[in-house]
Structure formats: structure tokens, C-alpha cells
Structure 1
Amino acid sequence: MKQDTKFRETIPASLRLAVPPRYLASGDSFTSFMYTSRIFKQVISKMVPEVCEAIISSLKQHIKRPTSEADWKAISQEFQCRWNFPHCIRSIDGKHVQMVAPQHSGSLFYNYKGTMFLGVADANYNLLYADVGCQGRISDGGGFKCTSLYKDLENNTAHVPRSDALPGRTQPVPYVLVGDDAFAMSSYLMKPYPGRTLEIPKRIYNYRLSRARRIIENVFGIMSSKFRVLLKPIALQPNKVKSVVLACAYLHNFLRRNSESRYAYTPPGSLDSYDGDGNVIEGFWRREINHQENRLMDLRNAPRRCSANLHKIRDEFCEYFVSQEGEVAWQYDSIS
């Protein structure tokens, strides 16, 4: 609410709240909203960041990281039951959100990628962590290192459970995130084996990791199809772009808070699924945004060398997935 003055009445709070979400959903220009809402575009340009900040403040409890080992183990159990990947506590990925380069910014934003959006999801397509703000010119690994999540994982302050053995195995392995080749492999982050001509066990490992990593890919896809402002270059200042993207992230979790709103936000068929033979059934969001010229862009794959100890951890997962305790019936058909 704003206060009325002697010169004019303020814009009603209901209208101030209605225009910015429509902007997030459509991505139309402020000029088009000026004609439909009869509000000057200069006022709309102030309303959008204000309401986005209010959304973030009001819904801050809807994106929160687990604070205990028991919470992390509960997430790991969900990944094991739903996606057949034990010791997985999060699915991580990053996207480039396009934005119009600010004036006099030099080479900081002299890049079509704009700003980086890094997200971490649980097994139920909910975001556990979101970070926005690194310039597109920063390397992909460097963007992850700028986050508080990376610092907590490096300093062992994220309350991640201690290493223990996989079911039916004896070698302890850590609880890990799963990501793609854009991230450097570490003791807390597993990624696929590189190359195309791989042995069957390694191909199965890549398939099983892809099943778990597809969660965050679907989160970004659903957000892009519902909040189409993410599909277009955002013509705002960097701090306002950050508010817009984070507001979309908080609204995503808010709309998935219960079965009724979740059904309206992501009706059956919206997300990727698997049939009885393990074949992927692509969600509606892929067909909705694949024709778009502008979209959230993947981080660039960057091959990196890692220590022999990290290879042993990945090999232990690989051996588990082809063992009697860890294999699933359809995995061999899925890689043929």
C-alpha cells in the first residue's frame, strides 16, 4: 500500500500486485502493460522489482536447505526410492538467463548469456537452494564457487551425513550431488563419465545419474514454460533481474506446496516420466519451449582433471549399479 496525497490517489494494492505476476508469466514489455493496465511504464518499472522483493520476503520459508543429517538422509532415501540413485542428496544445474547489458558496464555483461541462475532440487522437483547474480562472462565452475553452498560444502558446514557404504557394499562413499559436465567433480559432486564409446557399466552409471539429474532439468523447464520472462532478454538492471528470477524460483516452490496447487501448476504429463521399461516420456514443457528462439541456456561443458580418489568414488557407484543389489531390470535395455 502507498499513501494517498493531496494531488492524487495511489494505485490500489490489488492492481500493484496483479501487474508484476502477469509480467513474470508473459515476459511482455512494460509498454504493452501500460496500455492494458493504464499505468505509466515508468511506474510499472518500479512496481515490478518492489513486488518481486515482497514475494521473496513473504515466501522465503519455501526455499530452505536441510539443517540436519536426518533431513539429508530423508532426501537421499527419496532419490533412492524414486530415481534409483543412493547417497544422492541433491540434483544441481545452472542456466544462463539472458538480459540486456546495462549501459557503461564495459565487458562485465558483454555477453549474450547475461547472468547465471544456479539451482539445487530435491527428488520431488522442489528447489532447496537458488543463487542468481554471477555475470555470464564468469566461467561455469567459477559461478558455483561464488555461492554460499559451495563454501559450506568445502568447509563441511552443510551438515551432510558422513560417508558410509552403499547397500550390499563395504567401501564407504560420501553423500553427493549429481550434475553434468559443466561442474568439476569432487567428493560431494558426481558427474557422468566422458566420451561416447564407453563400456556397459559406465554407460549404465551415466544412465542412472541422468535419471537423478533430470529433476533439476525439469525444474528449469517448468519454470521457463510458466514464467516466460525467463525466455526473453530481461531489460532491467542486474539487481532487478536477480529479484525477478528469484521471485520465479520462490513462486515455483509455493505453487508446489500442496496437491491442489501442484496439480494446477504441473498437471499430469507436464514433467518427464518413465514407463515400465525405463523409457523416458518427455513432459509437455519440452514441446512448449523448444520452438522458442531465446531460452534458458545450458552451462558450457568444460573437461577437467580430477584426483584418483574421486575416480574411485565414481567407480564404486558404477560397480554398485551393475551389482545384484544395485541393478534395476530395465537399465540394460535403456542403454541399447
Structure 2
Amino acid sequence: MEDFIYLLGKVEPLIRKRDTKMRRAISARQQLSVTLQFLATGESFRCLRFQHRIGRTTIMKTCEALYDVLKEDYLKGTVSDAGLFGQSDLRTAMDRDLLDVPCPEPLQDTIINMLYVFIGDKAFPLRTDLVKPYPYQNQDHGQQIFNYHLSRERCTVENAFGILANRCAFLTNVALEPDKVTTITLAALTIDNFLRDKASEAYLPPAYVDMEDENHRIILGAWRRDGELASVAASRAWNATTTAKEQRDQLKAYLLSPAGSVPWQENMI
């Protein structure tokens, strides 16, 4: 309830309506409540209008208000294109070296300089700035170790997007125009980050997120039982460059070395 009151105080100046001679205005509290219900359930505008007498325009304006008042604190730096990586603004920026990525640094306890990289699953291209797993067929021992370490890192990403999809209206079809979907997505992202920052147990109860036990085995979070986010499908075949392959091999060798290995990794494959 405390978080709701905080949000209401932020958005009320933007969504408050005045009474007219014909009827009383819908309160800001009710507008926010119904909008949060929509973001959480994906319930149709028709049903919400029938239940609460609040239409699509009001909900969309409240979504815009939520994004406007929260974006500075809870959604700094955005990518406008939500398409696949190959057609995204992110890839364009990576191709043109526009992301201000930190300079290469030595891997811990070595003199091997390594680039900072993004990580992805098998659907993505292998690049010097984007690393993905080795193919799962006919893996040698080192490749299995590398893929294990990469999967631990990707788990963080899967939790972030999986929980967002389960908590907000992204496991159902959103039958709206693209610009309105963008508005809804931005509102949902800011609300998700806000509630995570507040460490709300109602939003993220214990055991909802993936964890590791004392033996470093992953315990799957409850969100995965609610419906796992589908993997991104490959839009076309990708050919990795020789340099990117060599870089991945360097990382593999590092993870097998005394400097980069961890005691439990042999038990994980």
C-alpha cells in the first residue's frame, strides 16, 4: 500500500481530472489502480471498461504518466527498437562503436587483455563484442566448462525478463497499435524496476528468483513455473568471424586455468 501511495503522489498531478456539471471525474486513485491491474493481467480494455467504467484512453494516459515520472530514476538509457538483434538499434550502435564500452582489461591474474562483451544464446551471432555458447553437439571438456559459466551469467538476464513477462501483461497477445505497445512496455519496465528497487516481497516473494545452493547448483525460481519467456528465434544464419572464435577460445582456456577456474565447475558438467 505504501508503494501505491508513493506512485499516486507522483502521477496524480498529471492525471487528475475535474468534475463537470454532467458527472463527477474519475479519481486519480482509481485511474492508477485500474492501470496497474491492466499492466499486471493484460485484461482487455473492454472488460476493464465494463468493470470500472474506465476506457482505453485513460489507461494509456496513465501509462504515459507512470513512465514520465519514473523514467529518470528507474529507466535510464533505452533502446527504441524492439525487433530482433539483427534489425535493432543496439546492433547498429555496436557496429559503429557508439556504446562507449570500457577498454579491454587483463583477465584476473593474467596478462591476457580481453574485450568487454555482451552475452547471448545460440540464436545470436558470435562477434568480438558478443559471446555465445559453443554448439551443443560433440562438445569437448573445455567447451562444456565454458558453456556452464556462460549459462550462469545468462541466468541473470533470463530472470530479469522472465519475471517482467510473468508479472506484467506480456504472456498474452497485446492487440494494440505499435506506438501504444511501446507506451505500455515503457510503463511496465519502470514499474518493474521501481518495485524491485523497493524490494517488495509482494512482487518478488522468497524463492521467486533463481538461486544457487551451497553446492553451486541452480535452484529454479518460482517464476519459471508460471511460464518461461520464450527464446528469441534466429532470423537468419550467422557466421562467426575468426577473431570472435579465437576470443571465445581464449575465454575457454582461461576458465580451465588455475586463474579462472572455480572448484565446483567439474561437478556441473
Does the CA-based 8 Å contact 1:132-1:246 persist in structure 2?
A: no
Question: C-alpha root-mean-square deviation of aligned residues, in Å?
Answer: 1.9
| Aligned mate of 2:246, from 307, 312, 320 | 312
Q: Which runs of 5+ in 2 are unaligned?
A: 1-15
Match of 2:220 in 1: 282
| Aligned mate of 1:192, from 133, 144, 148 | 133
Does the CA-based 8 Å contact 2:101-2:116 persist in structure 1?
A: yes
Equivalence map 1:18-167=2 (5 Å): 18-37=33-52, 39=53, 43-61=54-72, 62-65=74-77, 129=78, 131=80, 133-134=82-83, 140-143=84-87, 146-147=88-89, 149-167=90-108
Letter of the 2:30 partner, please give it. L
Does the CA-based 8 Å contact 1:192-1:205 persist in structure 2?
A: yes
Letter of the 1:63 partner, please give it. L
Percentage identity across aligned positions? 33
Count residues with an aligned counterpart. 252
TM-score by length of 2: 0.86
Letter of the 2:60 partner, please give it. P
- What whole-Å deviation, never above 9, does each CA across 1:207-265 have from its counterpart, x for those lacking one? 101100111111121112211x2111112211111111221111111111134x3x332
Question: Does residue 211 of structure 1 match 2:152?
Answer: yes
Letter of the 2:190 partner, please give it. Y
Q: Choose 1 or 2 for highest CA Rg.
A: 2
- What whole-Å deviation, never above 9, does each CA across 1:136-193 have from its counterpart, x for those lacking one? xxxx3323xx22x334333333221111221122231101111112221222111111
Match of 1:83 in 2: none
Instruction: Check 1:131–1:210 CA distance in 2 against 1; reply closer, same or farther (3 A cut).
Output: farther
Report SS of the residue matched to 2:118: strand
CA drift at 1:332? 1.0
Q: Which runs of 5+ in 1 are unaligned?
A: 66-128, 135-139, 291-295
Report SS of the residue matched to 2:197: coil
Larger fraction in strand: 1
| Aligned mate of 1:245, from 170, 182, 185 | 185
| Aligned mate of 1:299, from 223, 229, 232 | 232
